[in-house]
Chains A and B, each alone.
Chain A
């Protein structure tokens, strides 16, 4: 509450100063204007845009992602509503929250020679797990890691328009459309690495096409995008190459595997075979290869995952705990992992969010500017980030 009043007072001084400035005030007033300008912004915003330099004192504050980063790092990773918000506000601002910083600090200390550590974000629906994951991915990107981001593993186990039997292993099934889309986005994110990493193995696609040993990753990815039929196998090959090569002394990149909705890998799928029996996720090439990546038998990187009930099939709407969503098999495969809880906004974070929306003129009605209006927002949303965002659209 005190923050709110302070910001109001400062805002008044700013407007006052601005009016003097436009009327051609004296140099003294200009100096005052320059001094007090950045102050009202710093209550809920921070100028520290590099995730590596953020710390506890930036908790609750918004930092801006450069738009170039947003285009490259997140061609497919951000939540839908957040993308709309970015378009509306013309800037991508993300809040610095404790769970993200906890994982980022652990990532800073990762040892390249040790096996990859697995992190799992879990929390209630709409509490900010995907956004926290995006924050961590942004950190990995700024540090120069290779980011293998699967935006929603649920998309691979449902609504499959084309299901082909795999040429590599006859008991598995390919999903060419999903695989090509993912390869395209992967190419956008990791342009610089594509020419540097070389394959260690020869891959034969058909009688006439093959990728020789020593060719760049870029060629492999292009092969997958152009020849759609082999794209799922290409995805598998890419994952295998990266897994084998990361952590080796001769390769200079670190691999960050980020999967949103990891519980889809061990759940059920809604895809049906021709004889109307359900397909086990294990029988899908994409899922099979991703599961191999999830195991911590490779070194030189980290695995950051999120649970998601939102797109999940055959799960209860209210389940959010790891064992419930992962199931026995999933838990045993992910074990040992570090579960990181992502709670609803704390009071300070709520204040920050409220001030940000006010600043962006997202809260239109004068009632929302009052104390009562704020209490109403707290009551209606229970400080749940996604609920708050939806409700503020109507206030």
Chain B
């Protein structure tokens, strides 16, 4: 008699020889002398769905034949893929309620992905590992999002009715703070990316005069977008979101106050530091006045009055506009053309 053991070890008994290849978690029958015979013999519990009678057989062949017969009898035909049976107006959120890998038979789209065969198309979706590997968002269709919103609505409060336009929101709440929080299933609920805080404010809503604005732009550098006039401060150096928010607010305060202060060395600002080109006092002005004086356009006169008179002329003003536009806006066909016309008029060609 043998005792059942819990280990799935290769059996010792010779009458188990037929089993060795087939049983997986079958009980090993080890002759353990000394153990009592009290326990009832429970037969194979984990092995693949073969009948327990098969253990009595000594030869393999009738068993193999039996297997063949059995599998032929019980083999099921694979039915139609689910895509054929889906109604067109079904509820897709029921098909993909959660994030699931790509199931070709459940998605009624003729998607192809992968490297195309020469002269052919990429492989189809059936058995396509590439489609399974990539993330899909089939569980986040607009219908699903709508359902999420409906589910979240009981937890929301009403939007204040007085703030019905964007302009009013900007006016009352000029500072916008953007943060992201993350939810995921894993060993830890913390996500270090949740500490990042973006603070954006329009510079027009801050009280800055010309000099303060220029200084602010120089202090801030890349964080300012000229097209939308928005200054964005991103804080992520502290470990907690609240600390980063406090730091961002502190930065904004400091920038504002510093840009209003005027230092002694700011008086040494050179032409190279200027943000935009101003024609007065530039080389261009010198050149044009020089040329006009030599062309004897102004007639006789002394230095200063002649210059004043020349500057007041319409062609010179046009020339000044064209050069300023060229330097500030950069070059393109239209600015070049304007400059050419202005120069021709000034030099009387």
Q: Do A and B bind each other?
A: yes
Q: Mark A123-165, 1 if CB is under 8 A from B, else 0.
A: 0000000000000000000000000000000000000000000
Cα–Cα distance between A338 and B323 once the two chains are bound (Å): 12
Which single member of B283, B294, B336, B340 contacts A335 (CB below 8 Å)? B283
Cα–Cα distance between A322 and B335 once the two chains are bound (Å): 12
Nearest-CB distance from B127 to chain A (Å)?
44
Q: Report the stretch among A30-38, A40-48, A78-86, A109-117 that lies at the interface.
A: A109-117
**CB pair A338 B331 closer than 8 Å:** no
**CB pair A338 B294 closer than 8 Å:** no
Q: Report the stretch among B133-141, B262-270, B341-349 that lies at the interface.
A: B341-349
Cα–Cα distance between A296 and B327 once the two chains are bound (Å): 22
Cα–Cα distance between A338 and B339 once the two chains are bound (Å): 8
Nearest-CB distance from B319 to chain A (Å)?
7
Chain B neighbourhood of A340, CB < 8 A: 340
Chain A neighbourhood of B349, CB < 8 A: 106, 109, 117, 338
Beyond A106-B349, A322-B331, whether A337 also contacts B343 by CB under 8 A is yes
Which single member of B291, B331, B332, B333 contacts A336 (CB below 8 Å)? B291
Cα–Cα distance between A106 and B319 once the two chains are bound (Å): 19
**CB pair A324 B331 closer than 8 Å:** yes
Which single member of A296, A297, A324, A341 contacts B333 (CB below 8 Å)? A341
**CB pair A336 B288 closer than 8 Å:** yes
Question: From DSSP, what is the main secondary structure of chain B's interface residues?
Answer: helix
**CB pair B323 A335 closer than 8 Å:** yes
Question: Cβ of B194 < 8 Å from any Cβ of A?
Answer: no
Question: Cβ of B295 < 8 Å from any Cβ of A?
Answer: yes
**CB pair A336 B319 closer than 8 Å:** yes
**CB pair A338 B336 closer than 8 Å:** no
Question: Cβ of B326 < 8 Å from any Cβ of A?
Answer: yes
Cα–Cα distance between A388 and B323 once the two chains are bound (Å): 36
Chain B neighbourhood of A91, CB < 8 A: none
**CB pair A114 B295 closer than 8 Å:** yes
**CB pair A332 B331 closer than 8 Å:** no
Cα–Cα distance between A337 and B319 once the two chains are bound (Å): 11
**CB pair B343 A338 closer than 8 Å:** yes
Cα–Cα distance between A338 and B291 once the two chains are bound (Å): 14
Question: Cβ of A323 < 8 Å from any Cβ of B?
Answer: yes
How many residues of A sit at the interface, in one of the four size bands? 10 to 19
Cα–Cα distance between A115 and B330 once the two chains are bound (Å): 28
Question: Cβ of B31 < 8 Å from any Cβ of A?
Answer: no
Question: Cβ of B284 < 8 Å from any Cβ of A?
Answer: yes
Minimal Cβ-Cβ distance residue in B for A324: B331
**CB pair B291 A115 closer than 8 Å:** yes
A-B residue pair count with CB separations less than 8 angstroms = 52
Question: Cβ of B287 < 8 Å from any Cβ of A?
Answer: yes
**CB pair B340 A332 closer than 8 Å:** no
Chain A neighbourhood of B332, CB < 8 A: 321
**CB pair B347 A117 closer than 8 Å:** yes
Minimal Cβ-Cβ distance residue in A for B290: A297
**CB pair A335 B284 closer than 8 Å:** yes
Question: From DSSP, what is the main secondary structure of chain A's interface residues?
Answer: mixed
Cα–Cα distance between A364 and B336 once the two chains are bound (Å): 41
Q: Mark A19-35, 1 if CB is under 8 A from B, else 0.
A: 00000000000000000
What's the tally of chain B residues with a CB closer than 8 Å to chain A? Answer: 25
Cα–Cα distance between A321 and B334 once the two chains are bound (Å): 12
Minimal Cβ-Cβ distance residue in A for B332: A321
**CB pair A115 B319 closer than 8 Å:** no
Q: Which residues of B (272-298) have their CB < 8 Å from a CB of A?
A: 282-284, 287-288, 290-291, 294-295
**CB pair B346 A323 closer than 8 Å:** no
Cα–Cα distance between A115 and B293 once the two chains are bound (Å): 10
**CB pair B284 A322 closer than 8 Å:** no
Question: Cβ of A339 < 8 Å from any Cβ of B?
Answer: yes
Chain B neighbourhood of A296, CB < 8 A: 291
**CB pair B331 A321 closer than 8 Å:** yes
Nearest-CB distance from B276 to chain A (Å)?
14
**CB pair A336 B326 closer than 8 Å:** no
Chain B neighbourhood of A335, CB < 8 A: 283-284, 287-288, 323
**CB pair B343 A336 closer than 8 Å:** yes
Chain B neighbourhood of A337, CB < 8 A: 343
Nearest-CB distance from B90 to chain A (Å)?
51
Q: Which residues of A (322-372) have their CB < 8 Å from a CB of B?
A: 322-324, 332, 335-341
Nearest-CB distance from A335 to chain B (Å)?
5
Chain A neighbourhood of B319, CB < 8 A: 336
Nearest-CB distance from A2 to chain B (Å)?
30
Which single member of A297, A323, A338 contacts B340 (CB below 8 Å)? A338
Cα–Cα distance between A382 and B306 once the two chains are bound (Å): 51
Cα–Cα distance between A297 and B293 once the two chains are bound (Å): 11
Cα–Cα distance between A337 and B284 once the two chains are bound (Å): 11
**CB pair A321 B336 closer than 8 Å:** yes
Pick the most buried of A322, A324, A335, A340: most chain B CB atoms within 10 A of its CB: A335
Pick the most buried of B326, B330, B344, B347: most chain A CB atoms within 10 A of its CB: B347
Cα–Cα distance between A117 and B346 once the two chains are bound (Å): 12
Minimal Cβ-Cβ distance residue in A for B347: A117
Chain A neighbourhood of B333, CB < 8 A: 341
Chain B neighbourhood of A324, CB < 8 A: 331
Chain B neighbourhood of A321, CB < 8 A: 331-332, 336
Nearest-CB distance from A256 to chain B (Å)?
16
**CB pair B283 A323 closer than 8 Å:** no
Cα–Cα distance between A340 and B333 once the two chains are bound (Å): 11
Chain B neighbourhood of A323, CB < 8 A: 326-327, 330-331
**CB pair B295 A115 closer than 8 Å:** yes
Chain A neighbourhood of B331, CB < 8 A: 321-324
Chain A neighbourhood of B294, CB < 8 A: 114-115, 297
Cα–Cα distance between A335 and B346 once the two chains are bound (Å): 12
Minimal Cβ-Cβ distance residue in A for B319: A336
Nearest-CB distance from B294 to chain A (Å)?
5
Nearest-CB distance from B85 to chain A (Å)?
53
Cα–Cα distance between A184 and B208 once the two chains are bound (Å): 65
- Give me 9 A-to-B residue pairs in the complex whose CB atoms sit less than 8 angstroms apart, sorted by A's number: A117-B347, A321-B332, A323-B326, A336-B284, A336-B347, A338-B340, A338-B344, A339-B336, A340-B340
Instruction: Please name the 3 residue pairs, one residue from A and one from B, whose CB atoms are nearest each other, closest first.
Output: A321-B331, A332-B283, A336-B343
Interface residues of A (CB under 8 A from B): 106, 109, 114-115, 117, 296-297, 321-324, 332, 335-341
Q: A321-B331, A335-B288 are in contact. List 14 more A-B contacts (CB 8 A).
A: A114-B294, A115-B294, A115-B295, A296-B291, A332-B282, A332-B284, A335-B283, A335-B287, A336-B287, A336-B347, A337-B343, A338-B343, A339-B336, A339-B340
